[in-house]
Amino acid sequence: MSPFQKVSSGLDFLDKASNGGIPSADLNVVATSDDRTGSMVLGHYLKEGLRAGEKVVLVTFDKASAFFENFEFGNMEFRKHFEKEDFFFLNYQPAIRQKINFVQNYDVLFDEIFRLCNNSTP
């Protein structure tokens, strides 16, 4: 069995805590204690993937305009990558208003990402 390939988060302390980075080609969820820290980690992680030449997808409840405004600092250049189609933004707006539980089956989400990326995997 071969070891997982890892990608740097762009944050030294997180790479050290995760023994070299976050597993590549996988769905990664990072929880933080507050929105500001979460945004910082998210921005650096996305930037590192783009710097490495990967295509990235962000699934979020936020609108693209709010995301780009929040990351205009720090030379992140997400808007440029979005225009070059290296960065895909999926604004998830559920039509249901009741609490639901998430399951381990993400096939529907990946199918939608695949469809939105012109039938190619980012």
Q: Kindly state the average pLDDT of the residues 49-70.
A: 83
CA-wise closest residue to 55 among 98, 76, 25, 92:
25
pLDDT at site 1 = 44
- Output the pLDDT for position 107: 75
User: Which single residue is written with the structure tokens 């225009």?
Assistant: 83
- CA–CA distances in Å: residue 41 to residues 3, 4, 69, 118: 24, 21, 16, 28
CA distance 11 to 26: 19
For 66-121, the pLDDT digits (tens) are 888 878 766 778 888 888 988 888 887 766 555 555 556 667 777 777 777 777 66
Please list, in sequence order, all residues whose beta carbon lies within 8 angstroms of the beta carbon of residue 76, skipping any fewer than 6 positions away: 43, 46, 47
Q: Which two tokens stand for residue 19?
A: 């023994």
What is the rounded average pLDDT of the residues 17-24? 80
Sign of the CA dihedral with 17 first, then 29, 37, and 79 last: positive
Query: Domain limits of the chain?
Result: 6-116
Whole-structure pTM value: 0.59
Banded pLDDT at 46 (limits 50, 70, 90)? confident
